[in-house]
Amino acid sequence: MNLNIKKFLTKKNLIRAGFLLLFVLTVYLITCIFQVKSEHGINQVEGMYWQPEDSIDVVMMGTSHVHCGINTALLWEKYGIASYDYSGAEQPLWMTYFYLKELYKYQTPEVIVLDMYAPARFKEDYQYTWISENIYGMKFSLNKLEMLSVSVEPSKIPSYFPSFAVYHSRYDDLEVGDFSNFFWDGDKKEDFKGYTPYWNTRTQQRPEIFEEEDSAEKYFGIADITGAYVAGIILCSIRDSEYIAEKMDTNSYMLFGPVFFASIGLKTNVESVGMGILVFSAAFVAVGLISKIIGCGLAARLCRFNRLDSMKIGVGMMTRGEVALIVSQKGLSAGLLTPVYFTSVILLIIVSSILTPIILKVLYAKDNGA
C-alpha cells in the first residue's frame, strides 16, 4: 500500500471522514424534510428534475390551469404522448421565460404549450400572493437569480432566497408527505408528471366528539409531560413522599408501565418497513447516538472534565427512553409522524439502551486500568 495512503488512513482521519459523512447526511435529511412543498407549482418544477433526460415530448407551461386541467396520464394512455405539466399558480409570463430556460437544460421537447391566462388577466399587474409557488422548487442557478431580479423587489428577496431561510418557520406545518421526499422515493417522483387535479372542494373541520380531558395542558398551558414532572417535584417535598414513592413504584411497574409500553408497541408498524426506511432508521440512530456524545461530551469538556470523563458523560446521556416515546407519540397523534417512522424511534431506544451500558463498561475499565 502506498505510504501516502497509509498516512491518510489513520484512525483520526477515518473518524473525521465519518463525521463529515454524517454531517452531509444530516443536512440532506433535514433539507428533504423541511423544504417547502406545494401542489400549486413547487412540486411541478421540482418534479421536472426527476424526469429522465430528453424523455418529455410535450411540455405544458403557464398557470395552475395547466397542472389542474391537463391530464398527462390520459395523454400517455390514450395517445402515447409523453407530456409534463410544468406550471405554477398565476405564473406571470416573464417567469415562464426563465422556466423555459431551466427546462431546456434537461429536456428538448417537440412541442411547448403555453397557457395565456395570467398575461390575459393580470397583464403586468402581478401581486405577491402566489409568487413563492414559482420560486422555491427551482434549483439554485444563475437562471434562478435572474428570475428573482426581475420578479421580486430587492427589499423582498430575503423572503424568497435562499429557500432554506424559510425552513425554520415550518416546524408546525410538517405533514406526512414531508417524510417521503428522499432519494429512495425517486420512482414516485419520476412517475409524477405535474398533473394535480383540483375539484374546488374544501374539507370541513372535524367536530369534537369527546370533551377535552382535564390536564396540565388545558389549565396551565404546559405540556402534560411537563405537568407530570412538576407534580413529581411537588410530591417529593411533602412529608409522606417516601410512602407515596413506595406505593407508586409497585403500581407503575405492575400496571402503568406495561400498559404504556404495550400501547406504544401496538402503534409500531413493522410490516411496511422497507429498505428505504431501514436506511433512514440507521442514519437516524447514528445521528441520535453521536449527537448526544458530542453535545454532552463537549459541554463536559467546557466544564473542565478530562477527555475520558467527558466521554463517560456523553455516553451516559446517550440512552433514549420514555421521553422520546412520549414526544414521538405526540407527533403521531398530531399527524406529524407516520407509524413507519415511529419504528425508527423504537429502534433508537432499543439500540441506545443496549449500547450505553456496554460502552460505559469499557470506558470505566480503561479508567480502572489507568
Name which of 82, 79, 96 is nearest 45 in CA terms.
Answer: 96
Q: Which of 88, 189, 199, 191 is nearest to 147 (CA)?
A: 88
Q: What are phi and psi of 310, to 5 degrees?
A: -65, -40
| Residue 37 is assigned to a structural domain of this protein | no
> Last residue of some domain: 191, 215, 250?
191
Residue 255 lies in a domain: no
Question: What is the 3-state secondary structure of 191-260?
Answer: HCCCCCCCCCCCCCCCCCCCCCCCCHHHHHCCCHHHHHHHHHHHHHCCCCHHHHHHHHHHHHHHHHHHHH
How many helices and strands, by DSSP H and E, does the chain display? 17, 3
- pLDDT at residue 270, rounded to an integer: 65
Residue 250 has what pLDDT? 75
The 3-state DSSP class for residue 334 equals coil
**Residues 304, 179 share a domain:** no
Query: What is the reported pLDDT for 206?
Result: 65
My answer on whether 47 and 182 are in the same domain is yes
- Give the pLDDT confidence score for residue 82 in this predicted structure: 94
Calpha distance 340→273 (Å, rounded): 6
Q: What is the pLDDT of residue 61?
A: 94
Range of the domain at 326: 275-369
Phi, psi of 98, rounded to the nearest 5 degrees: -70, -30
Whether 317 maps to a domain, the answer reads yes
Task: Tell me: do 183 and 49 sit in the same domain.
Answer: yes
How far is residue 294's CA from residue 108's CA, in Å, rounded to a whole number? 49
- Residue 131 gets the label, from left (phi > 0), alpha (psi -120 to 50) or beta, of alpha
Residues 279 and 187 in one domain: no
Tens of pLDDT along the chain (370 residues)? 555 666 666 777 777 788 888 888 777 777 777 677 778 888 888 889 989 999 999 999 999 889 998 999 999 999 999 999 999 988 888 899 999 999 999 999 999 999 988 877 776 666 677 888 888 888 888 999 899 888 888 888 877 777 666 666 666 677 776 676 666 666 778 888 989 887 766 665 665 555 555 555 555 555 666 777 777 777 777 777 777 777 777 777 777 777 766 776 666 666 666 777 788 888 888 888 888 888 888 888 888 888 888 888 888 888 777 677 777 777 777 777 777 777 788 888 888 888 888 888 888 887 665 5
Are 224 and 217 in contact, with CB atoms under 8 Å apart? yes
Per-residue confidence (pLDDT) for residue 166, from 0 to 100 = 65
Would you say the C-alpha torsion 310, 313, 314, 316 has a positive or negative sign? positive
Domain contains 6: no
How confident is the model at residue 85, as a pLDDT?
94
End residue of a domain, out of 157, 191, 225: 191
Q: Which helix (H) or strand (E) holds 5?
A: helix 3-8
Give a yes or no: residue 238 inside a domain: no
The reply to whether 68 and 173 lie within a common domain is: yes
Single pTM value for the model: 0.48
Q: Looking at the domain assignment, is residue 78 inside a domain? A: yes
Q: Give a yes or no: residue 348 inside a domain.
A: yes
- The predicted pLDDT at position 126 comes to 65
Dihedral over alpha carbons 244, 246, 251, 253 (to 10 degrees): 140
- In angstroms, the CA 261 to CA 266 distance is 9
The residue out of 158, 176, 191 marking a domain boundary is 191
Count of structural domains within the chain? 2
What residue type is 152 in one-letter code? V
Please report the pLDDT score of residue 286 as a whole number: 87
Q: Is residue 203 part of a domain?
A: no
